[in-house]
Chain A
């Protein structure tokens, strides 16, 4: 990160030159974004409208919002970078690390989120367990969302500064101002509507990039030939062009992980922890108009999600293949400090190469849209959790509805101001940001265990959940403190500060295994403490919150298979399996 924000677009950098038509396209988009908030503001009559979209949206809109909130800049830029760095195996982040969890939350967990009276994920924890578990989750979630939206803001401003030479402060100011206006006026509905818009913009804006890149490299065969030649130079022949074939041992693939750590760490703990418990995405499904729509939200979202590798990973693979074929003359990919290409610049380099003015404006708009949808997703989740789970609970339990909307709007302002502070902190203290990310890793990794036990085991107690979480977090810290990725020296950030017991091939492997340990610690901790403590909820209180005490969902008789969650979910899983086999 250091040096990036202030660097000018000089030699070895990607520089884009915009024309009037590009500015016209950008301006049109921003006007529409703000106009949507302005029109929707008349629908904002109660706090339920503002924070929950009045629970009135059809499944397809919620699904695109669900996927749009996740389609932040980290997704678009980061997955393209990983596509260059790891090749096809990056698809594990989708076909292993997302789809199964999305199907699970839709089929099995949504009935409890949507069916209970909870307005947020932390509130579910209060109903199911107790107040301390809720507050712990609400606090860590609130801090994390502000931090994430600040990172988005920082990355956007840094990127625009580097490739267009725009002023860093002005980028921070305008991006937060636009997000502020459309959330302040139109609340969650406005955020979701804009996420739908952003979704289509990103898809239609990036598709031409992929098509042109494929034509240039000589189609799929040309891509594979060049990737194989490239992977041979890295000492792992064929590793860039297959997803599973090289997953036997960590040293055989560029990710540096073996299949078990991948499936258990990423595919189970981290993926289920994110998709099944993160209020940022769950909030979109909870805005649906009825239970069936809420359950189908993540299932419908899984369909574009499973195809996204073609849109976000393929540009990275194309870039590295083009780079191998003709070097920087072929694609303006700058060199990083470590002698490898600067993978994070894959998307800007592809834009610079293939998009003339006109489409360049579209590509840039799509990129900005992805940053903003990521930011807006965090801000709407933050204002809901702050208002319902922290403010209403601890400061004003008897607040009337109009007061809550006012607090929600004010929180939007405060949230964005705090995000901007985080963005500036990131320019100054690179390490503090990495440190925070690590701490969130500790807190989040075990989270799924208490939801799993809470929803499917009625004996789980409030003390069990709360202390189980603490044990899981502690397990994560101890694990990180006693392991180290290869080639790193002992530090608080990289690990090993308790004495190195094991060395991993990559930091990703360390991260996945840490998640496995954190989950196991929390699971066992919650299990035993629950058995040792008295249940703090009666069966009557647990109705609608726990599987065995909740009426099973029945489908509308005679409805089509795709309108019913179970067949839809199974179809999604089957399609994902086929994709895994095709690209084995």
Chain B
């Protein structure tokens, strides 16, 4: 039985996404003014990471 790489990949990106989104909510907004042109990139890209991870998990399930 071969490991489907989409499973660990999906889990990792989902986890990273959750970490980023959570941090996006609790972090001081000043860091976004200082670095990322005022945009909360942790929230935005955390959501994208989580979506990508979710899509990978979905694909690895669908195959079975």
Contacts and interface: CB of A to CB of B under 8 A. Distances in A.
B2 A359 contact: no
Contact of A200 (B27, B31, B39, B52): B52
A43 B3 CA distance: 9
A356 B35 contact: yes
A32 B3 contact: no
B3 A40 contact: yes
B20 A358 contact: yes
Interface stretch (A21-29, A383-391, A499-507): A21-29
B45 A200 contact: no
A43 B2 CA distance: 7
B42 A358 contact: yes
Nearest to A215: B37
Contacts of B11: 32
A193 B6 CA distance: 9
A39 interface: yes
Given A204-B49, A216-B37, A356 B42 contact: yes
Given A28-B15, A216-B37, A357-B27, A196 B49 contact: no
Nearest to A192: B5
Interface string B1-22: 1110100110111011001100
Given A356-B36, A362-B16, A196 B9 contact: yes
A355 B41 CA distance: 8
Given A32-B11, A212-B41, A39 B3 contact: yes
Contact of A359 (B8, B13, B41): B41
Interface in B20-64: 20, 23-24, 27, 31-32, 34-37, 39, 41-42, 45-46, 48-49, 52
A334 interface: no
- Secondary structure at the B interface, as helix, strand, loop or mixed, is helix
A210 to B, nearest CB: 12
Given A356-B32, A356-B35, A28 B52 contact: no
Nearest to A213: B37
A40 B37 CA distance: 42
A22 to B, nearest CB: 9
Interface in A350-371: 353-359, 362
B35 A204 contact: no
Given A354-B35, A356-B34, A357-B23, A61 B5 contact: yes
Nearest to A200: B9
Given A32-B12, A36-B8, A204 B48 contact: yes
16 contacts: A28-B12, A29-B12, A32-B11, A36-B3, A43-B1, A196-B9, A200-B9, A200-B13, A200-B52, A354-B36, A355-B36, A356-B34, A357-B23, A359-B45, A362-B20, A362-B45
Given A39-B3, A358-B23, 11 more contacts: A21-B19, A28-B15, A197-B8, A200-B9, A208-B41, A353-B35, A354-B36, A355-B35, A356-B42, A359-B36, A362-B20
Interface of B: 1-3, 5, 8-9, 11-13, 15-16, 19-20, 23-24, 27, 31-32, 34-37, 39, 41-42, 45-46, 48-49, 52
